[in-house]
Structures are given as C-alpha cells and as structure tokens.
C-alpha cells in the first residue's frame, strides 16, 4: 500500500477529526493505517494541524483526544482575574495568541467588567481582594445576561473543599495550582472553539467507542492489568431528596477528581463515563486500586461540606450518626473489579447473539451487561440547553 503525502495525510486526518467531533489518537491510528498513513506521518500531520489551530488535543481519562476547531472569524474574549501579577502574566502567556485577553487584579472589579464587556471565558483565582472567586462565579452564573460565560477556577487553596465549592457555584472547571500551561491552553481553546456540541468535561470523558476498545484491550492484557467500575453509591436517592442539580455537582466532582488522580499515577489509567453514576477504570492493578483509594479519601472528606450546603449545619457534623438516622442517603464510592473470565463469557454471548465472529463497538446497554449490572439509577443526557440528569429510580425501591 502506497504511503500518502503529508498534505494528503493532513486532509484525511482533518476530515476524520471534523466528522467525529472528538476522536482518540489510538482510533486515528487504526483508521489512518487502513488508509495507508503510517504512524510517523500521522503524528506529523496532527502536529501541523494543531500548529494551524484547526484542531486541538487534550488528554482526558488517560486518553489523548483530538477535537476540531471552528475557524477564527473573530477573537474570543477572555478575562483573567488574579491578584498576583506574575501568575496573571503566566496565565495570559499560557493561553497564547488568537484571543482577546484582558487582565484585572481586584475581585471587586470583576463582575462589573464581565457585565460591561461580556467575555466568553473568565479565569478566576479564589483568593482575591474585595470579592473572592466563589462569589464572583456565583454572581456571573446567577445573572441571565452573562450566565453562559465559561468560568475556570485556578487555585492553590485546599482542593478537596474548594473544588466542590467552585463546581457548586457553577464553575465549568477547576484547576489546581501549580497548573500546567499547556493544559490550560488546550482547555481554554477547546471550551471556546470546539466545533459542534459545547465541551462538557463530564460527558467528554472517553465515551462508548473508547470504552469498547479499552474493554478489548483489558481482556488481552495479563493478570496485573485490571478493569473495574466505580459507582457513586446512593446518588439516585440523593438526587431524589436534594434534586438533580445537587447530584450533578457530585458527578462532576468525581469526574474531575478521577481525571486528576489518573494523571498523577506513574502508569496510564483509563477512565470512562457510562453516562450514569458509574465510571469505568482500567490499568495496572496496583495503580487502579491506589487511584480508587485516593478517590474514596477525597470524596469522604468533602461529604460534610455537601451536607452542610443541603441544610445540615451542625458545628460538629457526625456523618455516621446522620446516616444511621436515614435522614440522608449514604453516599459512598463503590469499586468493583470485574473478573476477566466472566467478562469474556459475557462478551462471547453478545458476539454470538449479534451473529458476528468478533466484537464491534458495544452499545451502552451491552457494556452494562458486560459489567454484570443492569440497574443504574441515573442517566446523563444532553440537549441544546446542556447536560441534564434523569433519575430512573431510587435505591431500595
């Protein structure tokens, strides 16, 4: 098979990324190879397309993913609110060219600036003079005229509580200091210029196709490579008692915690969303188990702050006693490692039922069957107004 020229490769690669709206590097590699594009040419074409700013990439859930970008018909406006002038300058430099960037250093000026100038995205520190970042975020998201503004919080404050508070205040994303300048650049670019549906960090974890490929990859790996599910226990009942908006904040929190924890491990971990209260995690067994332990620790630490926001404001909130009274659903992180022999058996049954000799992309229902659980309490949907949560039932019903 004759290898294509770099120009031909770029055209084919851009067409693929653009038609799919998001596609992983591994998927691009498989398709490109079938079209006569070897991996070195693929990498060269992707690098050039990113340089031309017609695509952007980001590693999410352990998967390098590419997104098509809209053509720049006008500069998107960005506001940076950070009182440390050196950090403020670093943020502006990290974002790079192609945006209209404004910088202010006083929280008290932020809301009026946003109302007057209507930036597309605001980057906020939490600790600011005269008005803190959480209050600024709340006011932006509560004002119908500017509520669609993307808000990214970047803070060195205690990430366990401030991340939750930021998401609860309506922030679209939370980044810990010290931040990776390249990650900030790609995140801002994808939020503002991604073609098609608006970037939603919860939904934009690896999806059905990515999960399908990782299932097959996991089956082919040795015993030290595990695959499992992470479920937020009792979230369906929590949504029924406190509302789907409160449950969505918890889902977004767990999603971002998982992504950060996965990035911090020495080996790559795959994290995917089943568009419910369940996530998939795969990787070397010791790293996966360590990631789950870190997640459980951070999640348990933030539960008191969740409940305080729902009206349980005792000075010394005793979670164990509160759970025993059945006043609130007992939230927890439940990890279940899937036995590969059972996974293979279920896969073979699905393939046989389809009348095929090998797997293709599994449906979400098939993935749920593969994992041995048909009983999820929540479903995530997306419509023109954004991401929504539907409660199918409450636990114990």
Dump pLDDT digits (tens) for 246-304. Answer: 999 999 999 999 988 887 766 679 999 988 999 999 999 999 999 999 999 999 999 88
CATH number of domain containing 162: 3.40.50.2300
| Domain containing residue 136 | 76-193
* 199 falls within a domain: no
Among residues 160, 193, 226, the one where a domain terminates is: 193
CATH number of domain containing 304: 3.30.70
Whether the predicted model's global pTM rises above the 0.85 cut:
yes
* 181 falls within a domain: yes
CATH number of domain containing 53: 1.10.10.10
- DSSP state string for 293-359: HHHHHHHHHHHHHHHHHTT---TT--HHHHHHTTSS---EEEEEEPPHHHHHHHHHHHHHHHT-SS-
What pLDDT sits at residue 192? 94
Dump pLDDT digits (tens) for 20-53. Answer: 888 888 888 888 888 888 888 899 999 999 999 9
* 200 falls within a domain: no
Do 335 and 212 fall into the same domain? Answer: yes
Dump pLDDT digits (tens) for 296-312. Answer: 999 999 988 888 888 77
Residue 113 and residue 262: Cα distance in Å, rounded?
37
Residue 323 and residue 88: Cα distance in Å, rounded?
44
Mean pLDDT along residues 141-169: 91
């Amino acid at each position: 098979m004759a290898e294509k020229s770099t120009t031909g490769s770029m055209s084919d690669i851009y067409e693929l990324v653009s038609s799919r709206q998001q596609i992983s590097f591994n998927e691009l590699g498989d398709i490109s190879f079938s079209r006569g594009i070897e991996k070195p040419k693929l990498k060269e074409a992707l690098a050039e397309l990113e340089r031309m700013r017609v695509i952007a990439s980001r590693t999410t859930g352990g998967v390098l993913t590419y997104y098509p970008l809209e053509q720049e018909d006008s500069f998107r406006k960005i506001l940076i609110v950070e009182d440390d002038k050196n950090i403020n300058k670093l943020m502006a430099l990290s974002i790079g060219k192609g945006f209209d960037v404004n910088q202010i250093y006083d929280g008290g000026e932020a809301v009026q600036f946003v109302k007057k100038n209507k930036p597309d995205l605001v980057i906020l520190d939490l600790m600011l003079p005269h008005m803190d970042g959480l209050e600024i975020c709340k006011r932006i998201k509560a004002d119908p005229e500017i509520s669609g503004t993307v808000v990214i919080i970047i803070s060195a404050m205690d990430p366990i509580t401030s991340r939750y508070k930021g998401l609860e205040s309506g922030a679209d994303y939370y980044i810990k200091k010290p931040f990776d300048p390249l990650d900030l650049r790609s995140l801002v670019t994808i939020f503002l210029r991604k073609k098609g549906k608006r970037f939603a960090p919860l939904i934009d974890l690896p999806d059905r196709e990515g999960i399908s490929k990782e299932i097959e990859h996991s089956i082919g790996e040795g015993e030290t490579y595990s695959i499992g599910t992470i479920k937020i226990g009792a979230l369906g009942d929590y949504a029924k008692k406190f509302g789907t908006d409160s449950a969505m904040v918890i889902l977004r929190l767990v999603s971002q915690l998982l992504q950060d924890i996965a990035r911090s491990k020495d080996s790559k971990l795959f994290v995917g969303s089943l568009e419910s209260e369940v996530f998939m995690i795969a990787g070397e067994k010791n790293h996966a188990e360590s990631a789950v332990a870190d997640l459980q620790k951070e999640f348990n630490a933030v539960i008191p702050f969740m409940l305080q926001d729902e009206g349980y404001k005792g000075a010394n909130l005793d979670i164990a006693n509160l759970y025993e009274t059945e006043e609130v659903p007992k939230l927890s992180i439940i990890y279940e490692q899937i036995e590969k022999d059972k996974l293979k058996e279920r896969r073979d049954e699905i393939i046989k039922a389809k009348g095929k000799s090998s797997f293709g992309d599994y449906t979400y229902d098939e993935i749920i069957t593969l994992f041995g659980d048909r009983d999820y309490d929540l479903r995530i949907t997306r419509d023109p107004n954004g991401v929504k949560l539907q409660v199918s039932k409450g636990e114990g019903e």
